[in-house]
Amino acid sequence: MEEHKIDEALEKLWLLKEEAPSKEFFTTSGCIKEASLLKKMEKQGLINLKKNLVKLTPEGESKAKNIVRRHRLAERLFADIIDLEQAQVEGQACHYEHLLSEESADSICILLGHPRTCPHGKPIPPGECCLKGIKEVRPLVIPVSLLREGERAKIAYIGTRDESRLTRLISLGIIPGNEITLLQKKPSFVVKIDQTKLALDEKIAGEIFVRRKTKNSE
């Protein structure tokens, strides 16, 4: 239980740093209020304390990165593959971030095709598998641009943080859960959703992630 508290504190510090990357120190009252927990984390070399201010050490930052990575990969797994309701995804991810090993997280990452963002659009810190481009299994979730011509798939998520682009894509029927078929790749990507055909440039086709049809789902 104490280890879980440390993980949660490290995750909170990572999120604060993510929101304000130029800041080094954060007030302890805004993230870790338990004095005993702060002392334990300092003793383990995870944080530096300066009066009522705290910052991650390189070791703490590395551990926090892995926790956030596991959490956001778990979110993608539950949302894209297991197809849980959004309300359940966060709770399950919070639980599994403490259970997944680094190797298990890499396996999930490879399975999903190295996703760049979580379902909420926040970046997933890359792991060794992403940096090396390892593809040990045929990923189930890929961008539309990697589908074969004529291949059908189900839209899993849209990997863009551009709100105007996201709104436009949704208005065109590019919504998670809808079926999409890639009709052609050149000179532009042409997809079919229901009876509507849409032409997409390569950048947009690379931001629409889909769950491939498996033999059991045909």
pLDDT at 138: 58
Question: Which pTM value belongs to this model?
Answer: 0.64
pLDDT at 199: 93
Per the structure block, which two tokens stand in for 179? 């079926």
- Domain check: are 148 and 125 in the same one? no
Closest CA to 200 of 175, 172, 160: 172
Under 8 Å CB-to-CB from 217, ≥6 apart: which residues?
Answer: none
CATH assignment at residue 183: 2.30.30.90
- Domain check: are 103 and 83 in the same one? yes
pLDDT at 139: 67
- Domain check: are 146 and 127 in the same one? no
Mark the ranges of the chain whose per-residue pLDDT is less than 70: 1, 83-85, 87, 133-139, 214-218
Q: Tell me how far apart the alpha carbons of residues 59 and 47 are, in angstroms, rounded to a whole number.
A: 8
- Domain check: are 89 and 120 in the same one? yes
pLDDT at 184: 95
- Domain check: are 82 and 37 in the same one? no
Alpha-carbon torsion, ordered 138, 203, 73, 76, to 10 deg: -90
pLDDT at 6: 92
> How many distinct structural domains can be found in the chain?
3
- Domain check: are 208 and 145 in the same one? yes
Q: What is the per-residue burial (b if ≥16 Cβ within 10 Å, else e) of 73-89?
A: bbbbbbbbeeebeeeeb
pLDDT in tens, 56-95: 999 999 999 999 999 999 998 888 777 666 767 777 888 8
Query: Of 115, 132, 149, which residue constitutes the final position of a domain?
Result: 132
Its domain, for residue 28, covers 2-56
- Domain check: are 152 and 210 in the same one? yes
- Domain check: are 147 and 100 in the same one? no
pLDDT at 89: 78
Are residues 197 and 183 in contact, defined by beta-carbon separation less than 8 angstroms? yes
CATH assignment at residue 87: 1.10.10.10
Q: Tell me how far apart the alpha carbons of residues 80 and 108 are, in angstroms, rounded to a whole number.
A: 11
Helix (H) / strand (E) element for 27: namely strand 26-27
- Domain check: are 79 and 127 in the same one? yes
pLDDT at 101: 84
Query: Of 82, 101, 132, which residue constitutes the final position of a domain?
Result: 132
- Domain check: are 158 and 97 in the same one? no
- Domain check: are 98 and 33 in the same one? no
Are residues 129 and 137 in contact, defined by beta-carbon separation less than 8 angstroms? no
pLDDT at 72: 92
- Domain check: are 146 and 122 in the same one? no
Q: Tell me how far apart the alpha carbons of residues 127 and 157 are, in angstroms, rounded to a whole number.
A: 21
